[in-house]
Structure 1
Amino acid sequence: MNTTAVTPLTTADAEALVSAARVAAESAGATVSITVLDAGGHLLAFRRDDRAVLISGETSTRKAYTALQLNAPTADLVDLVKPDGPFHSLTTALDRPLLFIAGGVPVHDRTGRPIGALGVGGGAPEQDHAFATAALTALAAR
């Protein structure tokens, strides 16, 4: 039996993720919302740019939740839920706030275990994914 403790995602980590995603979005001229969830799906950090569309707050949270629940970037899931995809019914099968649009990424500890998720909403999906992955890179470099 493996009894290795999983390092939790800290508030400082969550703030670093938000900061790095914000910097990436600002450098691209995008206004976004950023959500960080812990391993249990609980909110650790949230930020919405003043001019970001209101729905971006909801989309960033749903992207983070989806990435956490499926332990995969939402960008990798988009084709799987299309009408001809193997998981096409997943979008309506569960009473959960899943969203299959790029911009959500799981956060793993140094051993590869999932410890939370980050979601970015408000830019184009490819931009949101890029901002989220830039934030993961910045966190790993700390």
Structure 2
Amino acid sequence: MKNKAVLELADVKAVAAAAEAEALKNNWAVTIAIVDDGGHLLWLQRLDGAPPISAHIAPAKAHTAALGRRESKVYEDVINQGRMSFLSAPAIEGMLEGGVPILVDGQCIGAVGVSGVKSSEDAQIAKAGIAVLG
């Protein structure tokens, strides 16, 4: 049996604070979602001015990244390259860039999803949050 790291509340708070700092540094109004390895919501933070729909999109991006064990952009690229049938994949809704898995020793322990600005900027915020874990 293997051992695996898990996100603790202190980790979640640190990731959220670093992601928030990146967003505020750039004056980006976003929603930040953090999920565990099963895609279950651990944190949801909607910054002032973030569009209401972002509170639905950010968790969906995080869920997709956690379950897929890869950035949600991968799925967006697959669809944009013409594989429209992928839209019917079960249990995956956030197929837009901005969901980034949290990997520790090659294992996915969760993910961060961000929504509210350009998708590449959403991903930038998510990665800044994850970077605090080292």
Instruction: Give how far 1:71 is off.
Output: 0.8
Match of 2:12 among 14, 33, 48: 14
- Residue identity in the other structure for 1:70: G
Question: Does 1:100 find its partner at 2:98?
Answer: no
- Residue identity in the other structure for 2:51: V
Question: Does 1:116 find its partner at 2:114?
Answer: no
Percent of paired sites with the same residue: 31
CA offset digits 1:52-89 (Å, max 9, x no partner)? 1001111100000111111111123321122623xx32
Match of 1:90 among 86, 91, 101: 86
Match of 1:30 among 24, 28, 31: 28
Distance (whole Å) between structure 2 residues aligned to residue 99 and residue 89 of structure 1: 15
Question: Does 1:81 find its partner at 2:79?
Answer: yes
Match of 1:70 among 65, 68, 71: 68
Give the structure with higher Rg (CA).
1
Distance (whole Å) between structure 2 residues aligned to residue 83 and residue 126 of structure 1: 18
Instruction: Give how far 1:125 is off.
Output: 0.5
Shift >3 Å, 4+ stretches = none
Q: Is the 8 A contact 1:11 1:45 kept in 2?
A: no
Point out where structure 1 has 5 or more consecutive residues left out of the alignment.
Answer: none
Match of 1:131 among 120, 125, 133: 125
Q: Is the 8 A contact 2:103 2:110 kept in 1?
A: yes
TM-score by length of 2: 0.92
* Equivalent position of 1:41 in the other structure: 39
Point out where structure 2 has 5 or more consecutive residues left out of the alignment.
Answer: none
Instruction: Give how far 1:5 is off.
Output: 1.1
Q: CA RMSD in A?
A: 1.4
Q: Is the 8 A contact 1:120 1:128 kept in 2?
A: yes
Distance (whole Å) between structure 1 residues aligned to residue 61 and residue 55 of structure 2: 10
| Number of corresponding residues | 134
Instruction: Give how far 1:44 is off.
Output: 1.1
